[in-house]
């Protein structure tokens, strides 16, 4: 199974989907993500600090927990041509499409907490790949 940044974020930051995200992350040894997960996770935490949703101390602790909980990290460079094509096809941000490209290349489900992304894929041939984590 491929996990995106929203699942890792929900696993390390308390919120309505935290239990489900933690259960998935910490009970499954066969998880992968593209290497952009590392940059996206840092970005999501710093964004939460700027919005005053998290303190800097909480963000630092969450970042440390995330780094200690990473799935298998895979190189995103080979995924970029497909991710770019998916981004154009779906009119959706390329970063999300990198995760989708990895899922498609592995014929593996993509776990996400991003309901907007899941809705975007509904009714497409990619909907079969989405595993939406909900509260």
Per-residue pLDDT 10s for the chain (135 aa) are 999 999 999 999 999 999 999 999 988 889 999 999 999 999 999 999 999 999 999 999 999 999 998 999 999 999 999 999 999 999 999 999 999 999 999 999 999 999 999 999 999 999 999 999 998
Identify which of 124, 133, 83, 128 has the alpha carbon closest to the alpha carbon of residue 108.
Answer: 128
CATH fold label, 2-132: Rossmann fold (3.40.50)
Report how far Cα 19 is from the mean position of its chain's Cα atoms.
16
Angstrom distance (rounded) from CA 123 to CA 50: 36
Instruction: Look at residue 77 in the predicted model and tell me its pLDDT.
Output: 98
Instruction: Look at residue 26 in the predicted model and tell me its pLDDT.
Output: 87
Which helix (H) or strand (E) segment holds residue 1: the answer is: none
Instruction: Look at residue 20 in the predicted model and tell me its pLDDT.
Output: 96
- In 1-135 the beta strands, taken as DSSP E runs, fall at 2-3, 32-34, 72-74, 110-112, 130-132
Identify which of 67, 72, 68, 63 has the alpha carbon closest to the alpha carbon of residue 1.
Answer: 72
């Amino acid at each position: 199974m491929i996990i995106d940044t929203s699942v890792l974020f929900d696993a390390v930051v308390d919120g309505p989907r935290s239990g489900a995200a933690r259960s998935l992350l910490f009970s499954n040894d066969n998880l992968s993500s593209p290497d952009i997960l590392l940059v996206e996770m840092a970005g999501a935490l710093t964004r939460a600090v700027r919005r005053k949703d998290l303190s800097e101390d909480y963000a630092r602790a969450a970042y440390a927990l995330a780094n200690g909980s990473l799935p298998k990290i895979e190189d995103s460079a080979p995924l970029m041509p497909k991710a770019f094509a998916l981004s154009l096809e779906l009119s959706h941000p390329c970063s999300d499409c990198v995760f989708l490209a990895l899922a498609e290349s592995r014929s593996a489900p993509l776990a996400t907490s991003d309901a907007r992304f899941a809705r975007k894929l509904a009714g497409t041939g990619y909907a079969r790949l989405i595993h939406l984590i909900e509260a």
